[in-house]
Structures are given as structure tokens and as C-alpha cells.
């Protein structure tokens, strides 16, 4: 029977691994060998990785690919993408190549406002609380100056603080709803530090406010935390060209454009389709977010919330044909950073940002959003023409052959056979077994 362990975090890495292997691995020696095979031979670099998180035992690698030929606002870029799913990089690259000769991708940042909140309980007069807040608002800002001074010098800082009454949804529940500009930093630590200072000021000033009775003076702060829902940190991206320029055949072009628009409209009204539709967008977005050292979980949460902002989950992208012009576009929230965190610690992240021209946060927002739109275009192009599986399974064939430990000669025969036959895992397995039996 397995027993819990005390002080695991204090053990050296080797002891952590030995304990884990002894109690949880089917094959102890093989498990240890696998873990150590992913250690970096550069001890200094491995130590850097070990210190990113807690209880580190090894590195978990993702393949990084490159999607070239992205023309964005007139600049040609090669985009790094870190992802484990086959066909994603290929699809993005194909979309980039397709639009390279049709005007490229266009992108603009609409706004970069980020949000944080102090959640508190106040059981008392709403009007007196409102008067208190209006009188003390300047003090909230003044007492946070030691935190905001450097950010303000660069042009950022606190934009506004509002008192929000939520008592119609929960008894006594109010918020300090705060907006921030964090420039090239994602800004989580900055925002949370400001919010915690606001909470201290709120409690301190309430204790000495003469219009509060004894009960009202004891405001209960529940938590102070930034929000990953950033509906005012928006970037818009789009591609467009005359319908007849989509393909050499004008009839084919019109039929493709019509089917494409219909496919997007289906994702606007059918949630079952919309989730998969938007997941495809996030294939492109997450891959670049990871490659540039940003928080893909925060991005995912914020984007999917935005897709539901009108009370129904729907497509993030939009397609239309207007006056003979095909336009495919998307607007979504992306709170990204290019300074702080892993962007200055992870050597590969630094190299990837250098590859992208060392963009600021706004430029990175454009690049990431373009990758998402490209991925969505490629998926919809396949879905509305040949079908998604033809291209995907060709890319996935290599994974199947690796699982079956195919030899180089077997690979050649498999690739020849399935160049004209439908690829499925069982079909490839049967074919390999047939080769081996013969």
C-alpha cells in the first residue's frame, strides 16, 4: 500500500526521482532512464529549467516548428510554433503561402486595457459606501504610487478604479473594478500588487471613516486578483481579396467562397461546431503563445469567455462576400507580454522573439492572432473541399509508423500504398502486419 511522503519538496532531485520510481513506476530502472534522458546536458541550462517550477524531475519537450511566408502588414515573418499535434504547422504554412500573393494578413490592435478586481463584502448603506469611495479614490491611487512609479514612467499604470455594486447577485458583495495599462509586460505581478495595496487602503480608510458605523468599518476583503477576461485588450486580424482571385477558376472561386462563408455562419449558430471551430483557431494561437513564453491557459480562458460574451458560445471568426470581395476576419482578446517572466529567462523563447524581430506586446498580439486566423482558414478550406482527414492523416501517418516501429523499407512501402488508399490506424497496422508475415 502506498504511503504519503512528508518533506518531498526538500529532497534533492535524485532522491525525488528514486522515491517516485520505487513507489509508482512499473519498471523502476527504465522509468529513471527515461526521465534522465530528457535532462539537458548543459548543467547551467538544466538548473535554469529546474527553477522554473517546483519539484522538477525532468523536462517535457514539445516539438517546435516554423511556419514561414507570413506577410503581416507588409512585413514578411517566419513564425515559431510549439505544439504536439500533427498538421497544425503545415496548415498554418499553407495558409500563409496562400495569402502571400493575395495581399497578406492585416492586423490592428484596438486596445490594450487589462482588468483586476478587489472582491469584498460590505453590509451597510450603499450610498454611504459610494460617498466613501468617491472621497478616498485619490488615496487609493496615491498609496499605490511606489508600485506604479516605474510603470508610469514608461507610459503605463492604473487607468481607473470603479466601485461596482453586485449586491443584486450576492448579499453584501462589491468590487473595486480596476483597469490597467501594462505596456509590453503581461503585467500579472504588477496588477496583483496594485490590487493588494488597494485592499489594504480600503480596510485602513474604512476603519477611520466617520460616516461608517462600527459594523460598516470592518469591510471584509475576500480576494484581490487580476482577471484573465480582457474584453478590452483586443486585436483584429483579417485577409481579403476579390472572389475571382481566390483560385484561377472563377466558378470554383465563387463556390469556395460561398461554402466557406456558410461554414463560418454554421459555427455562429451551432455551439457543437463552434467549440471545434474555435479550438482550431487556438491550435495556431497556443502554439505561438507557448513558443514566446506566454501563458496559454490564461489566453484560452479569456478567448473562450469572449466567444460567449453575448450569452451564447459562437465562432470567433467572421466571413463575408461584399461587392465581390471575400473577407475573412477575427477580433479577440490577447493579453500578452514580451518582457518579464520566461521571456527573459528561457533561451529558446528569447531566440523565438528575436526571430520575430523582438516585437513589443502589441506587435506580438498581431502575430499571434494572425496565426490563429491562418489556422482557421486552412481548416475551413480543407473542411469545405477535400475534407479534414485527407491532409491530417497524411501528416499523422508518421506517428502511426513510429508506434509500429516500422523500418525504413516498411515506411517506403506504406507511403507508396497509402498514397492512393485511405489512411486509418487499423489499415496501416494491417498493412504492416501483412508485410511482416510475407
Q: Residue 249, Cα to own-chain centre: how many angstroms?
A: 37
The catalytically annotated residue of 295, 346, 366, 396 is 295
Clarify whether 394 is annotated catalytic.
no
The catalytically annotated residue of 200, 217, 279, 425 is 279
Clarify whether 136 is annotated catalytic.
no
Clarify whether 251 is annotated catalytic.
no
The catalytically annotated residue of 28, 49, 50, 85 is 85
The catalytically annotated residue of 106, 114, 392, 396 is 392
Clarify whether 217 is annotated catalytic.
no
Q: Which residues are catalytic?
A: 85, 279, 295, 392
Amino acid at each position: 500500500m502506498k504511503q504519503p511522503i512528508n518533506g518531498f519538496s526538500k529532497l534533492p532531485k535524485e532522491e525525488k526521482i528514486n522515491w517516485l520510481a520505487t513507489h509508482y513506476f512499473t519498471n523502476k530502472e527504465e522509468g529513471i532512464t527515461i526521465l534522465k534522458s530528457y535532462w539537458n546536458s548543459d548543467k547551467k541550462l538544466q538548473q535554469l529549467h529546474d527553477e522554473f517550477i517546483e519539484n522538477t524531475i525532468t523536462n517535457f519537450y514539445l516539438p517546435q516548428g516554423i511556419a514561414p511566408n507570413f506577410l503581416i502588414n507588409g512585413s514578411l515573418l517566419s513564425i515559431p510554433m510549439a505544439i504536439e499535434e500533427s498538421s497544425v504547422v503545415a496548415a498554418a504554412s499553407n495558409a500563409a503561402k496562400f495569402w502571400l500573393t493575395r495581399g497578406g494578413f492585416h492586423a490592428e490592435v484596438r486596445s490594450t486595457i487589462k482588468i483586476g478586481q478587489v472582491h469584498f463584502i460590505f453590509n451597510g448603506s450603499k450610498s454611504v459606501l459610494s460617498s466613501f469611495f468617491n472621497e478616498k479614490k485619490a488615496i487609493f491611487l496615491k498609496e499605490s504610487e511606489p508600485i506604479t512609479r516605474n510603470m508610469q514612467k514608461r507610459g503605463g499604470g492604473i487607468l481607473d478604479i470603479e466601485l461596482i455594486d453586485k449586491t443584486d447577485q450576492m448579499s453584501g458583495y462589491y468590487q473595486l473594478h480596476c483597469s490597467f495599462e501594462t505596456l509590453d509586460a503581461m503585467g500579472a505581478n504588477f496588477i496583483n500588487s496594485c490590487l493588494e495595496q488597494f485592499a489594504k487602503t480600503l480596510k485602513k480608510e474604512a476603519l477611520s471613516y466617520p460616516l461608517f458605523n462600527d459594523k460598516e468599518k470592518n469591510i471584509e476583503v475576500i480576494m484581490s486578483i487580476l482577471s484573465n477576461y480582457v474584453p478590452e485588450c483586443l486585436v483584429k486580424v483579417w485577409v481579403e481579396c476579390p472572389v475571382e482571385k481566390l483560385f484561377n477558376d472563377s466558378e470554383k472561386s465563387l463556390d469556395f467562397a460561398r461554402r466557406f462563408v456558410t461554414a463560418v455562419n454554421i459555427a455562429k449558430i451551432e455551439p457543437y461546431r463552434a467549440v471545434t471551430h474555435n479550438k482550431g483557431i487556438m491550435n495556431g494561437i497556443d502554439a505561438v503563445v507557448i513558443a514566446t513564453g506566454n501563458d496559454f491557459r490564461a489566453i484560452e480562458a479569456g478567448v473562450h469567455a469572449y466567444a460567449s460574451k453575448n450569452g451564447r458560445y459562437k465562432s470567433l471568426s467572421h466571413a463575408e462576400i461584399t461587392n465581390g470581395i471575400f473577407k475573412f476576419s477575427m477580433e479577440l482578446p490577447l493579453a500578452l507580454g514580451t518582457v518579464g517572466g520566461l521571456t527573459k529567462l528561457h533561451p529558446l523563447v528569447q531566440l523565438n522573439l528575436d526571430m520575430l524581430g523582438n516585437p513589443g506586446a502589441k506587435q506580438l498580439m498581431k502575430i499571434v492572432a494572425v496565426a490563429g486566423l491562418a489556422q482557421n482558414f486552412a481548416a475551413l478550406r480543407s473542411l469545405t473541399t477535400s475534407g479534414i482527414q485527407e491532409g491530417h492523416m497524411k501528416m499523422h501517418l508518421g506517428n502511426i509508423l513510429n508506434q509500429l516501429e516500422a523500418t525504413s523499407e516498411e515506411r517506403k512501402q506504406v507511403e507508396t500504398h497509402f498514397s492512393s488508399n485511405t489512411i486509418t490506424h487499423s489499415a496501416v497496422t494491417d498493412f504492416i502486419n501483412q508485410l511482416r508475415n510475407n
